[in-house]
Structure 1
Amino acid sequence: MTWNLTPERFAALVADAVRAPSMHNTQPWRFRLSGQAVDVLLNDDRVLPVGDPTGRAARVACGAAVFNLRMALAVDGTPAAVRLWPEPDVIARLTAADARPATPAERRLYAAIPRRHSNRDPFADVPVPADARTGLVRAAHDEGGWLHLAESAADAEATADLIREADRLLRSDTGYLTELASWTGVGAHATEGVPRDAGGPEPDQYELLTRRDFAGPATARSFEREPLIAVLGAGGDLAGDQVVAGMALQRVLLTATDLGLAASIFTQPIDHPDTRERLRAVCRQPFPPYAVLRLGYGTAAHRSGRRPVTDAIVPPG
């Protein structure tokens, strides 16, 4: 089975792929049409040297972009087979699998791609129902990941404490603060970074979950008292596991969007090795986590921009 990927169709696929989330909206990915295969590459120039020195978060972001590509191809009836790290510089290679109609789930997840974005504003004090929680856990599992829901007050408090501690540790590093400031508070029409209007209100010390300071407006807004807190992980911590974690993360986020839920991502406890290990213990998992999610019912919020599709495309080599 082969695809007929014209340059126009390839550009449309990339436009879907780049809607994936990335740390500080750095968009650390590149895409190359190699014959009839699509290669996903890491753009080393867009890896945060202080916030993401090992490139772990960038590889997670690339995994999320891979998932978007899979859904875009599936709805065309031309699903993809994915091979991770077929070459040292290729994170994932997508090739044609047997043609088949898209499943209803694939159609819903694809339709959620343009609607999904991080929502850093307050959510309603409305609990997420049990069936939705089950669906989110299943979404992570379907991609080879795991999702631990902080169902008990003890788990929620322990996770919140680790976010708060990690944020304090990270903010003690002037290099981290400088890097954060360079990617946040950008203009509303910026094609990278987190715009001021999308950063949520200025963080308040009394919030349960300590948010990064994305230079949002200093407005007094009360956050929900009991957000649904979820921790996402995968089956290991090697480079391939990090890509799998990204695919699992994006499936969870798109599932949440399809269910009418909003989400924001916290990675402070992931970015510090001590708090990451302690968070793993809180989740009672054998492998370390990759993200903490806050999920709930939100209102319309501003979103971050994206660079031109042409900037993310690498000519065939």
Structure 2
Amino acid sequence: MSSPSVPSLDEALVTALVADAVRAPSMHNAQPWRFRFLRRSGVVQLRADPQRAMPRSDPDHRGLHLGCGAALFNLRTAAAHAGFEPETELLPDPADPWLAAEVRLVRPVRADGDDAAALYPAIRRRHTSRLPFTDEEIPEALLDGLSGCAVREGARLVFPDPWHVRSVLDLVHDAEGREAADPAKREETARWVRTDAAEGGERAEGIPAYALGPRQWDVTSPVRDFAGRRPTLGRASAVFEKAPCLGLLGTAGDARADWLRAGQAMERVLLQATLDGLVASLTSQALEWPELRWAVRDPQSAMGHVHMVLRLGYGPQGPETPRRPVSEMLDVI
């Protein structure tokens, strides 16, 4: 039996792969990444973009690296779907801290390789939902499968018990109060959030008014209110689920490579959840305050550091949020 051939890797295909990669979630939808295609070596480089950093909310760039990790996983998934076996190296150049990863696309996908290609249909379907979920419980088998997705990427996803969930909600509310009292942080967030519906088609980044979701009538779910105190014309209030299903995603370490692994794990979990018929939203609000972040983790878990709180459930899908043109993010040399 002949071995499969390597697909033709040209600029058009790489552009398509990057278009799938940038569907990943990122902090405030800042899309903090750039890509470079090295024609001669068949390598796609993923670079973190410090111009899209948030020094007040994310001073160590942990959130920025999580977004880059999510984009990296989408790139791997799209490459596998296109017939490539993506060979990935994290942080390949210690002298270049913004070079997050290199993905070499020179070999055909192996029959016994990573099955990430199966997740490809979810890339365009996955959207953050800040809408109310139902109170229907998620089957244990699905939650176990999502935890397994995180493990495959070198991370952990644990689902805390009801007591710990209430503790996490209290920490989120604490973080909301701290942010309300921090003008610099409110101003930084406001730069990425649009509360005027008329702005919806003018920017290809940030969170548009239509994606904010309703305000919570009775705050029971950790859905970040990005509008804060700013009025949003036509924005309604709604009752959210009373017992949210929360997952804590983290790793044993807390270095840049750990953040990139956690970002890949987060996206694998979100894509699998989408295929499982679930919807999700993300919150890092309590994790943005060092004095609160340590208390989010489950002390009985081997997870040393929590990087993201996932809210999972059944309900309406969130709307698609804007993305910058690939031409602004991809260089070919």
The question of a shared fold, defined as TM-score above 0.5 by the shorter chain, is answered with yes
Cross-structure match for 1:72: 78
Q: 1:230 aligns with which of 243, 247, 253?
A: 247
- 1:169-248, aligned counterparts within 5 Å? 169-185=178-194, 187-189=199-201, 190-204=203-217, 206-215=218-227, 217-248=234-265
| Distance in 2 separating the partners of 1:212 and 1:38 | 34
Query: 2:105 — aligned with what?
Result: 96
Unaligned runs of 5+ in 2: none
Gap regions ≥5 residues in structure 1: none
Give the distance between the partners of 1:293 and 1:169, measured in 2 at CA. Answer: 21
Structure 2 residue 45 is the aligned partner of structure 1 residue 39: yes
Q: Distance in 1 between matches of 2:25 and 2:240?
A: 23
Cα displacement (A) at 1:2: 6.9
Identical aligned residues as a percent:
36
Find the residue that maps to 2:194 and give its secondary structure.
strand
Q: Structure 2 CA distance, aligned partners of 1:109 and 1:283?
A: 31
Deviation at 1:281, TM superposition (A): 4.3
Moved more, 36-45 or 279-288: 279-288
TM-score, L = length of structure 2: 0.89
Q: 1:131 Cα shift? A: 1.2
Inter-partner Cα distance in structure 1 for 2:64 and 2:21: 14
Please say which of residues 277-286 and 171-180 is displaced more in the overlay.
277-286
Shift of 1:99: 2.0
Match of 2:269 among 228, 252, 255: 252
Paired residue for 2:10?
A: 6
Contact conserved, 1:15 with 1:309, CA < 8 A, in 2?
Answer: yes
1:37-75 deviations in whole A, cap 9, x for unaligned? 000001110111211121111111000011001111111
Q: Judge conservation of contact 1:84–1:93 (CA < 8 Å) in 2.
A: yes
Q: How many residues align?
A: 314
Task: Decide which of 136, 153, 169 is 2:146's aligned counterpart.
Answer: 136
1:27 aligns with 2:31: yes
Report the alpha carbon displacement of residue 213 of structure 1 after superposing the two structures with TM: 2.1
Aligned AA (1:32) = R
- The corresponding residue for 2:68 is 62
1:201 is aligned with what amino acid? P
Q: Distance in 1 between matches of 2:297 and 2:48?
A: 27
How far residue 104 of structure 1 moved from its aligned partner, in angstroms, is 9.6
Specify the code of the residue in structure 2 equivalent to 1:67.
F
Question: 1: distance between equivalents of 2:223 and 2:114?
Answer: 35
Give me the TM-score of the superposition, normalised by structure 1.
0.93
Describe the SS at the equivalent of 2:142: helix
CA deviations 1:93-127 (Å, max 9, x no partner) are 00136423577953431110000010000011211
SS in 2 for 1:185: coil
Farther off after superposition, 14-23 or 127-136: 127-136
| Separation (CA, whole Å) in 2 of partners of 1:4 and 1:77 | 10
Structure showing the higher helix proportion among its residues:
1
Contact (CA 8 Å) 2:128, 2:317: kept in 1 or not? no
Shift, 1:301, TM fit: 2.8
Which residue of 2 is the match for residue 106 of structure 1? Answer: 116
SS at match of 2:158: strand
Q: Could you list the per-position Cα deviations for residues 209-232 of structure 1 after superposition, in whole angstroms to 9, with x for gaps in the alignment?
A: 343222365412110111211010
